[in-house]
Amino acid sequence: MNEKERIEKILAILKNTYPDSKPALLYTNPLELLIATILSARCTDEQVNLVTKKLFHKYRTAEDYASAPIEELEEMIHSLGFYKTKAKNIKNACSLICSKFNGKVPSQMNMLVELPGVGRKTANVVLGNAFGINEGVVVDTHVSRVAFRLGLTKEKQPEKIEVDLMRCIHKEQWAEFSNQLIWHGRKRCKARNPDCPHCELNPICPKIGVSQ
């Protein structure tokens, strides 16, 4: 089996294992996904979902966030950590969405990364899942770890990992592939004690950096 065939096999197994892969973050529109993704930095999606259940009920539009007192936002997201920075980024991002993008979350990479608190990873999450636009591959800690162990990249920096993955995966599969790797990292290929014996990819995984 050559490398191209191995990658195709990896994609087929992931598709079969996670046929309807979506982000674990709960959202109903692009603005909610943007806010949830900003909040997810350095905390679990489960924690974010508990907070956004109340947050999304109180604030419905970018104008709602932009006009909300910063202390009010901080109080609502306090349990997530780094709440002052996150509240400031959310308020400022929504202010820019209102002033520059007519109150709507933009659907272009160069516009999204203009927003405070939004880097390429967050932009890729929003584009791929809220708009169905494959502009890149989301590279979080799960994707970095699983891609490295599968031998799909030797890089350590997210930007370089993304380039490697974009080269070996067809563009139309980027968003889906990102979600599948994230779920696989949570379910099987954990940072500590990866479940290699039960892993669906075990037969074709080189297990780089894994002691098992």
Mark the binding-site residues, compressed into ranges: 189, 196, 199, 205
- Which residues have a Cβ under 8 Å from the Cβ of 57 and sit 6 or more positions away? none
The question of whether 164 is a catalytic residue gets the answer no
| Known binding-site positions for [4Fe-4S] cluster | 189, 196, 199, 205
- Which among 83, 49, 175, 65 is positioned nearest to 123, based on CA atoms? 175
- Which among 158, 155, 125, 126 is positioned nearest to 139, based on CA atoms? 158
Catalytic residue among 140, 164, 190, 207: 140
Rounded to an integer, what distance in angstroms lies between the CA atom of residue 71 and that of residue 66? 12
Catalytic residue among 45, 86, 91, 121: 121
The question of whether 156 is a catalytic residue gets the answer no
Burial class (CB in 10 A: 0-12, 13-18, 19+), 39: buried
**Helix (H, G, I), strand (E, B), or coil: what is residue 138?**
coil
Are the CB atoms for 21 and 186 separated by under 8 Å?
A: no
Catalytic residue numbers, as ranges: 121, 140
